[in-house]
Structure 1
Amino acid sequence: MSQPKSSGPGPGRSRQTQIFVDGLGGTRPLVPVDPEGLRKAARRKLDAPAFAYLAGGAGMERTMQANLDAFSGVKLLPRRLCGSASRDLSVELFGHTYPAPVLLAPLGVLELAHAEADLAVGRAAAALGVPFIFSSQASEPMEDVAAAMGDSPRWFQLYWGTDEEVTRSFVRRVEACGAQAIVLTLDTTLLGWRPRDLDLGNLPFLRGQGLAQYLTDAHFRSRLDTVQLPAGTPRPSPALLKTAASLAAHGRKFGLSLAQMRTAAAHFTASYTRPDLQWDDLSRLREWTTLPILLKGILHPDDAREAAQRGMDGIIVSNHGGRQIDGEVGSLTMLPRVVEAAGDLPVLLDSGVRTGADVAKAMALGARAVLLGRPYAYGLALAGQAGVQEVIRNVVAEFDLTLGLLGAHSARELGPQHLA
């Protein structure tokens, strides 16, 4: 994948050949190739709270199903005898060329999947040249992951909290660690109703998980100097002692006391969302950075038009993987209308991408690239960095084969002519 243009058999046939030759020796892939098999294998590997957080959605998870149904409803239409033996998978975004139209979506609390968390994902992405979008809710600080990735491409996903000095500090750190773009998530100004987590009474942040960006931020840490436990703090119980152990372990990692970690968890949960965020606020973010700004969570065409008028640089059509509103429209369903409304702005697609054929469908409907989320988290859970790499290779391999079988010569060539 280091070369944008496939030479010889291309990444699709190369990946197939590798798997089949390994199979002759009795070796099977590290992770299941089938997306549902991958999910089930991760479920067997992970404990209940970890799988609930990584795999769960809002309400009855009808939005998650809507995302999958949207892809099922789009039908590809191939052309024959097009001479597409050589295929160019590369895409250009904001002046950078990437080897395939696949980026790794920002996923929080990856320590739930594997101890190496974001570091393993960053190394996997770097090995294949795929951009990794760091999460605000990462388990490892952005500086450490950037160092592990070397010069490989990375973006950053930003939550705009009520503590604006922390938000501004994040932006400065993002620029310093070589990010190529900032992705502002708009659909999480409130935390969605997620029954799987609620039934287990589990919010990872209260245990100190997924707070690495905050615990290494000077402005956030300055808020922890005065430590006061809230009145009516529960008496110790086995569950609270377990939580305290988790907080203490994260405190040792980041040089904070247990009391400071309790304050950190409380301050984070009170400040990380900002329900009053409005369009006019974007002008301040534009003043803070020269990096391209993409708005993630756009579904309505009018919001796409507003984003263009406000001087934003790109849009990510997304419903947060079905984690925020139950019964929301599938992301792919809205993609064509958002693309039309966005004008010249690049539009990416997130939520529901599982296969290389899904990538082709999204691009035929106007997306410039897609974000891959849960599948790589499952690969991480099963085999760490190597598992993430296999998931990426599988998706890109299927995309390459789909491209050739459609009769297309390049990813950029995909369009309505490839749809029934």
Structure 2
Amino acid sequence: MRIRIDNGRVLDPSTKRDGIYNILIEEDRVTKIAAGCTDPADRVIDAKGCYVMPGLIDLHVHFREPGFEYKETIATGARAAARGGFTAVCPMANTNPVIDSPEMVSFLLEKAKKESPVKILPIGSVTKGLLGKEVTDMAAMKAAGAVAFSEDGKTVMDAAVYRKGLQQAAAIGAVVMDHCEDMDLLKESVMQEGTPAEARRVSGVSHASEDLITARDILLAKETGARLHLCHCSTAASVWMAGEAKKQGVALTAEVCPHHFTLTYEDIPEGDTNYKMAPPLREKKDVEALRTALKNGVLDAISTDHAPHSAEEKARPFPQAPNGIVGSETAVALTITELVEPGILTPMEMAEKMSFHPAQILGLETGMLAEGRIADITILDPNAEYVIDKNKFASKAKNTPFHGRKVKGKVLYTIVDGKIVYAAEEEQ
């Protein structure tokens, strides 16, 4: 199968190529990038006015299978990812059973081969059963195909156990993806502390719940030499600490989610649990700090923390409803609308944050759009305006605070290993 992509603005962070080119794909590889290339092809895509980027990589999703298939499955989550422009995703380990053994990693990969249009890159747990007591056999899971390790959804509160986990990860050259929330401080907290929480008479989450664990784990990473990746940063202090740690040579990377650089706790409608997440929506000063950290490179990646839940679960009162929102199908539009359009990020920097840097963090050979490379490609129209409609999501879940929001930026094609796995035109 030969595909030619014509007239698109090609953005490749690995070479800094930024211009109008035609791309020829043969089988699973990019074989030519040249202005005016007219080599014959089985399929020609006219990408005039579009960004043509290396395939987007999401470092942080929850696909719920095994154990919670009523929320999401590998198949439905992967289709949502493809619709969102992602060619590879990293499902977290908080399933049932937990992804805490090589057998469970293999299970996930076998399911992916049969059911996923995108690449599934499993994240193994740091401790057995996510119980925070006994470190897993990371070497065995890495050999089975785990690309990193995380306790996401929980924090390993025993610093000695986490230190041991970081030591083991350092020994095998693995990344640990860090969920930074002090569970003792959280208790029954449901949203950022402050006036909105007080008005609703609910317990508030302090900034310190994130900042304390961020500080602790940066110190542990510095001591152990481990590669630490901070998940879903949401506070001004956490990104300041990340910046200082990088200056001191700590092997640290960090991500932010679109909901955290878009919304504040003042945006939460009364009782709307689609705005409930962990970490919670913060203050305006935090949003500004996150945007600045994206611009100056302290924050390396944009990830979704795609967290599907059933409508029945989200219909519970705010204190009892589960944390999390779906994000795979809104990330591109929110990034363009909130960051690229205002000039906070350039289109090239968007490609860096959503593809090239995630690939580098995991040590992947993707994240590049160059001759001879694997043809994982995302084509999007940055000028397409539309209203987000959750009822059109490919995800099984619809828990989003962005339903009805007018945005710019629409994914038109997602190509994985030279195969078109999503085409927006087919939805018409």
TM-score, length of structure 2 as denominator length: 0.38
**Larger helix fraction of residues:** 1
Report which structure shows greater RCO (CA 8 Å, sep ≥6).
1
TM-score, length of structure 1 as denominator length: 0.39
